[in-house]
Chain A
């Protein structure tokens, strides 16, 4: 994975795991890799990997079964919410960027429609 090195790595990896959950690449209730395996898969520090799971658990995207590991939430509502949270984030970025170009929201909406049509 390519990182933006000026923003915390744990957030970027957490976002990547969330995306996999939302797209269905990882299923609800599925066991996530161990912290060490996550560190290896993303070539990050194992302490950073532990932090990724802390944040996912705090946000109730995952939960820990004692002695068994970390699992993706089984709550479909939480995953739907995750999808809209991520969509919101993308929209914010988009609106930010487009406003900087001096394009109004209305103009932007028209542009999107044209693109579709």
Chain B
């Protein structure tokens, strides 16, 4: 469904993404893992059609990604993206204007689940509430590809559970879900594939139950193998 063909992105002298090739099929949840700064966000933005690769191509349903296919791809970025005068209900209306696949009913259902109400002002939301709002507004779209960039950053256990439930609920046989995280353990049970990114490269691509069955190791163990015992700061 979504294919990255030798995709490379260079910013000045820094190669953020270096010849990444991978194929994402519908019906699955992919965990995109790697330390901060490894190139996950840059790759996702290219896959969402928000920035252009320096070389290589993103293909969607057998064609190079074009403006039209962007409509079927939802990307939740890490940056805050609501005007601070907005109430939670305004955020829904704003999205409805922008995206034809946005469902107000689904949005309300998700807000309910996340224990958010329409009258809340976005500027008064805690970081956990803001994280939940971003998920709700992204998941209320009926997109074929949903990419969530670090959805679990800075949230508490209960918010995490609510977000996980929404993620599992959104899986369907005609949809790709990709979630990036540097918190490996969080995605251990819900993802079925892991994409390991290291310094802009695709370091490994594994089916998780297969990994547990054949090697008897967890995703976290694999992560340590790839990035070294020092983890995040290992070069």
Measuring CB to CB, which residues of chain A are less than 8 angstroms from any residue of chain B? 3, 5-10, 36, 39-40, 42-48, 51
Contact = CB atoms under 8 A, between A and B. Distances in A.
Given A47-B27, A47-B28, A48-B209, A9 B189 contact: yes
B219 A46 contact: no
Contacts, number: 57
B216 A43 contact: no
Interface residues of B, number: 25
A7 B190 CA distance: 14
Given A42-B189, A43-B165, A45-B28, 16 more contacts: A3-B188, A5-B188, A5-B189, A5-B218, A6-B218, A6-B221, A39-B168, A39-B171, A40-B168, A43-B161, A43-B168, A44-B189, A45-B29, A45-B168, A45-B171, A45-B190
A109 B208 CA distance: 40
Nearest to A4: B218
Query: 9 closest A-B pairs (Cβ-Cβ)?
Result: A5-B218, A6-B218, A45-B192, A8-B212, A5-B188, A46-B171, A8-B209, A44-B189, A8-B213
A50 to B, nearest CB: 10
A6 B216 contact: yes
Interface string B190-212: 11100000000000000011001
Contacts of B29: 45
Given A40-B168, A44-B190, A47-B28, A9 B212 contact: yes
Interface string B108-137: 000000000000000000000000000000
Nearest to B214: A8
B35 to A, nearest CB: 20
A67 B128 CA distance: 41
B36 to A, nearest CB: 22
B218 A9 contact: no
A47 B168 CA distance: 10
Contacts of A48: 189, 192, 209
B185 interface: yes
Given A39-B168, A51-B209, A5 B191 contact: no
Contacts of A7: 212, 216
A6 B212 contact: yes
B180 to A, nearest CB: 17
19 contacts: A3-B188, A5-B212, A5-B218, A6-B212, A6-B217, A7-B212, A8-B209, A9-B212, A10-B209, A36-B169, A40-B165, A42-B189, A44-B190, A45-B29, A45-B191, A45-B192, A47-B28, A48-B192, A48-B209
Contacts of A45: 28-29, 168, 171, 189-192
A9 B189 CA distance: 7
